[in-house]
């Protein structure tokens, strides 16, 4: 039986790379985006070419009611997922004294509440499935060490680490593993204009990372071989911390 994995925020960047890698590694995929339907449709076409089943869900992860309704409807029609990659996220950087209330709220709502809004409706169905499962949550080097200008983002990404560690304990007996991946500086739309000599000097490997390098780690965590890895934070950051 082929397993299905939902990848949130898979229209571009790291999420897109994860969806493609998981498809290449034999999983069927539920793609997800907020409003870039054309971009996500092109990812779907690439996945079909790999011979895997794919479908698309579009909702804002901050919209709890819609997220729950769409996920429950999808599960009712197609069956429970083997795994979920909670990847959708945003930044809104600024020095703390100048940070706007909106920038605080949006970053917390998308990154941290977004995890709750997506993973909560999936958890009981995954438990009832009575089979191994995988939950992988995208944290960040900012959540591990805190970054200047990212008090909001660091708080959300550190919060995810706490949530993952607690949920991993709750689900361990059910054979559902729960882990964080914490990327460093990865070349995507999110980091456009941020990758300069000063930033690279901080990285022991002296280069930025590629989405595919994060995707490889996520796919390993979803594999049968990773069945005894849970409650962990796996950093993919060129030695940044």
Of residues 35 through 64, those in contact with ligand NDP by CB under 6 A are: 35-36, 60-62
- Cα dihedral 111→113→117→120 (10° resolution): 100
Q: Which of 6, 7, 9, 121 binds ligand NDP (CB under 6 A)?
A: 9
d(Cα 102, Cα 128) in Å, to the nearest integer? 38
- Using CB under 6 A, which of the segments 116-124, 168-176, 178-186, 226-234 binds ligand NDP? 178-186
Give Cα 77 distance to the centre of its chain. 24
Q: Which of 191, 199, 231, 233 binds ligand NDP (CB under 6 A)?
A: 191
What SS3 state is found at 106?
helix
From 81, 116, 153, 228, the catalytic residue: 153
Scored b (16 or more CB within 10 A) or e, 200-237 reads eeebeeeebbebebbbbbbbbbbeeebeeebbbbbbbb
C-beta of 44: minimal distance to ligand NDP in Å?
A: 13
C-beta of 80: minimal distance to ligand NDP in Å?
A: 21
> Does 11 interact with ligand NDP (rule: CB under 6 A)?
yes
Q: Which of 7, 75, 88, 215 binds ligand NDP (CB under 6 A)?
A: 88
C-beta of 38: minimal distance to ligand NDP in Å?
A: 10
Is the CB of residue 215 less than 8 Å from the CB of residue 21? Answer: yes
Q: Which of 33, 54, 118, 155 binds ligand NDP (CB under 6 A)?
A: 33
Is the CB of residue 199 less than 8 Å from the CB of residue 141? Answer: no
Q: CA geometry: angle at 164 spanning 228 and 185, to 5°?
A: 95
Q: Which tokens hold the place of 178?
A: 């729960």
116 catalytically annotated: no
Beta carbon nearer to ligand NDP, 102 or 189: 189
Which residues sit at the interface with ligand NDP, rule CB under 6 A?
A: 9, 11-15, 33-36, 60-62, 87-90, 110, 138, 140, 183, 185-186, 188-191
Q: Active-site residues: which are they?
A: 153
């Amino acid at each position: 039986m082929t397993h299905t994995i939902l990848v949130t925020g898979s229209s571009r960047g790291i999420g897109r790379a994860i969806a493609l890698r998981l498809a290449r590694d034999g999983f069927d995929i539920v793609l997800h985006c907020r409003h870039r339907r054309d971009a996500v449709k092109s990812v779907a076409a690439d996945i079909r070419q790999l011979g895997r089943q794919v479908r698309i869900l579009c909702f804002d992860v901050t919209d709890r009611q819609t997220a729950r309704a769409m996920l429950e409807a999808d599960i009712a029609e197609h069956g429970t997922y083997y795994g979920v990659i909670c990847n959708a996220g945003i930044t809104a950087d600024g020095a703390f004294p100048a940070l706007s209330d909106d920038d605080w709220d949006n970053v917390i709502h998308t990154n941290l509440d977004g995890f709750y809004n997506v993973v909560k409706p999936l958890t009981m169905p995954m438990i009832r499935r009575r089979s191994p499962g995988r939950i992988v949550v995208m944290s960040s080097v900012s959540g591990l060490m805190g970054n200047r200008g990212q008090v909001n983002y660091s708080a959300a990404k550190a919060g995810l680490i706490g949530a993952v560690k607690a949920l991993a304990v709750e689900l361990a007996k059910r054979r559902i593993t729960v882990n964080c991946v914490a990327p460093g500086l990865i070349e995507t739309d999110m980091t456009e204009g941020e990758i300069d000599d000063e930033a690279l000097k901080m990285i022991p490997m002296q280069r930025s990372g590629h989405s595919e390098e994060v995707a490889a780690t996520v796919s390993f965590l979803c594999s049968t071989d990773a069945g005894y890895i849970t409650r962990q934070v796996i950093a993919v950051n060129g030695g940044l911390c």
